[in-house]
Amino acid sequence: MPLFHYRAKDRQGRSIAATIEAEDIRTAARILREKGYFISELKEPGKGLQAEVKIPMLERGPGLKDLAIFSRQLATMLSAGLPIVQAIAILERQTENKKFKSILREIRTDVEGGSNFSDALSKHKIFSNLYVNLVRAGETSGMIDSVLDRLATFLEKDLELRGKIKSAMTYPAIVLTFAILISYFLLVGIVPMFASILTDLGSELPLLTRVLIALANFLQRDLWLLLIIFAAIFFAYRYYYSTPKGRRVIDAFKLRMPVFGNLNKKSVIARFSRTFGLLVSSGVGIIEAMDITKGTAGNAIVEDILSETRDAIQVGEPIHSTLMRYPQVFPPMVSSMIAIGEETGALETMLQKVADFYEREVDEAVSSLTAAIEPVMTIVLGAIVGAIVAGMFLPYFQIIGTLSAG
């Protein structure tokens, strides 16, 4: 097996320059990582001095998954005793995404110049207010590695939650897309062929057939008009949602809409509990934590409730007293658990329990929703195709019936 030259740091932060025998460069990188080494350079046999391992960390632009990986790796290196500048430099070298590499380079330069890590992060929009404030709390308490580890867990949980919601929406979207494509193909490609034959026969056409022929003619001649209508609806929705009133109306509907409203509500509660619990457990003040959590709610109605809750906290009221007034958003179990946490001094523990419970609820809701939607969408698709086929063959059945009667 070939030898690979590498430079790395062990868990104590000591530099190591040696060789390792492995089948290929990825196997060598995996072995070194399993030993707890943080690779700064790994050269393939016969390659130049600049050849280094390509560890698949970021395959797309910086996003939630990228931040979770970055936070986890940085927490591991800091807990192993590496200086933060050195840890960032290692992550910068092994990051394949050019944009994120540039961001890490700027952060490293700022920290080397004397800036706080949190201040360096705040200059880049990929690090949210939540992320920056938690890192700042970690710097203040001297537990930045622990805070980054919690952040990584939080981001991973958030990714998992978003993935569950996305999976619930994906199946009906795919089936609906196929239904539209199949219907368009039948109406534009097949119906006109039958229409010309039926017109030549000169018989009275059933209503369903006339409707299908008219729809086919419209799609052939005036499809652009339909596209303009859909585009107008889309941009009108975007504009209305950008207004404060429109956002509240639409977000309120999202929480009340059939089937998906319940799923949306559970995901909002899970995200609120997980975010607020993380901030409180990391040493962020209650009022500031509520303000930051409000900014991550993703729903105008929930943001209004959390703003009211923050104002109530400022005048000495407990958190649960405001939430209890909105059982349509925060069920009694949530406000009761928070009340117990406030009374016993274990608020962050109760919030994490609420988050765990509602994340399981989301998981079960997604499974039930997928199981229920699958037959419904299949029936809808069958009904559309069946209506088109029936509309085309119904005149032939009438003609055959007339000939048989004659």
For residue range 105-138, what is the model confidence (pLDDT) as tens digits? 999 998 888 888 889 998 888 888 888 888 888 8
Examine residue 51 and state whether it is found in any structural domain, yes or no: no
Cβ proximity of 69 and 58 under 8 Å: yes
DSSP 202-267: TPPPPHHHHHHHHHHHHHHHHHHHHHHHHHHHHHHHHHHHHSHHHHHHHHHHHHHSTTHHHHHHHH
Q: What is the pLDDT of residues 303-317, one digit of tens each?
A: 999 999 999 999 989
Q: Tell me what pLDDT residue 6 has.
A: 73
Give the three-class secondary structure for 109. Answer: helix
Query: Shortest CA distance to 213 belongs to which of 198, 230, 229?
Result: 198
Q: Is residue 107 located within the same domain as residue 162?
A: no
Query: Shortest CA distance to 25 belongs to which of 14, 11, 35, 39?
Result: 39
Q: What are the beta bridge partners of residue 161?
A: none
Examine residue 359 and state whether it is found in any structural domain, yes or no: yes
Q: Tell me what pLDDT residue 94 has.
A: 82
Q: Tell me what pLDDT residue 192 has.
A: 80
The answer to whether residue 233 scores a pLDDT higher than 90 is: yes
232/351 Cα distance (integer angstroms):
43
Q: Tell me what pLDDT residue 49 has.
A: 36
pLDDT band for position 166 (cuts 50, 70, 90): confident
Amino acid found at 312: A
Q: Tell me what pLDDT residue 9 has.
A: 63
Q: Is residue 115 located within the same domain as residue 181?
A: no
Q: Tell me what pLDDT residue 334 has.
A: 92
Q: Tell me what pLDDT residue 330 has.
A: 92
Q: Tell me what pLDDT residue 43 has.
A: 67
Q: Is residue 73 located within the same domain as residue 10?
A: no
Query: Shortest CA distance to 38 belongs to which of 53, 23, 25?
Result: 53
Cβ proximity of 64 and 159 under 8 Å: yes
Cβ proximity of 364 and 289 under 8 Å: no
Examine residue 61 and state whether it is found in any structural domain, yes or no: no
What range does the domain containing 88 cover?
Answer: 67-153
Q: Is residue 265 located within the same domain as residue 179?
A: yes
Q: Is residue 205 located within the same domain as residue 76?
A: no
Q: Is residue 291 located within the same domain as residue 227?
A: yes
Q: Is residue 102 located within the same domain as residue 170?
A: no
Examine residue 178 and state whether it is found in any structural domain, yes or no: yes
Which tops the pLDDT comparison, 374 or 238? 238
Q: Is residue 396 located within the same domain as residue 262?
A: yes
Q: Is residue 374 located within the same domain as residue 237?
A: yes
Examine residue 93 and state whether it is found in any structural domain, yes or no: yes
- Give the range among 14-18, 56-60, 273-277 with minimum mean pLDDT: 56-60
pLDDT band for position 218 (cuts 50, 70, 90): confident
379/63 Cα distance (integer angstroms):
38
DSSP 378-401: HHHHHHHHHHHHHHHHHHHHHHHH
Q: How many CA atoms are closer than 13 Å to the CA of 209, on its beta-carbon side? A: 21
Examine residue 60 and state whether it is found in any structural domain, yes or no: no
Q: What is the pLDDT of residues 35-93, one digit of tens each?
A: 767 665 676 554 433 344 444 433 455 777 888 888 889 888 888 888 888 889 998 88
Query: What does the angle CA 65 – CA 66 – CA 68 come to, to the nearest 5 degrees?
Result: 65
Q: Tell me what pLDDT residue 99 has.
A: 86
Question: Which of these three, 127, 153, 179, is where a domain ends?
Answer: 153
End-to-end CA gap in the chain = 88
Q: Is residue 161 located within the same domain as residue 149?
A: no
Which tops the pLDDT comparison, 365 or 300? 300
Q: Tell me what pLDDT residue 1 has.
A: 57
The CATH number of whichever domain residue 197 belongs to comes to 1.20.81.30
- Residue 95: φ, ψ to 5°: -80, 125
- Residue 9: φ, ψ to 5°: -120, 140
Q: How many domains are contained in the chain?
A: 3
Amino acid found at 30: R
pTM for the full model? Answer: 0.65
Q: Tell me what pLDDT residue 197 has.
A: 75
Share of the chain above pLDDT 90, in %: 18
Q: Report how far Cα 123 is from the mean position of its chain's Cα atoms.
A: 23
Q: Is residue 311 located within the same domain as residue 362?
A: yes
Q: Is residue 263 located within the same domain as residue 332?
A: yes
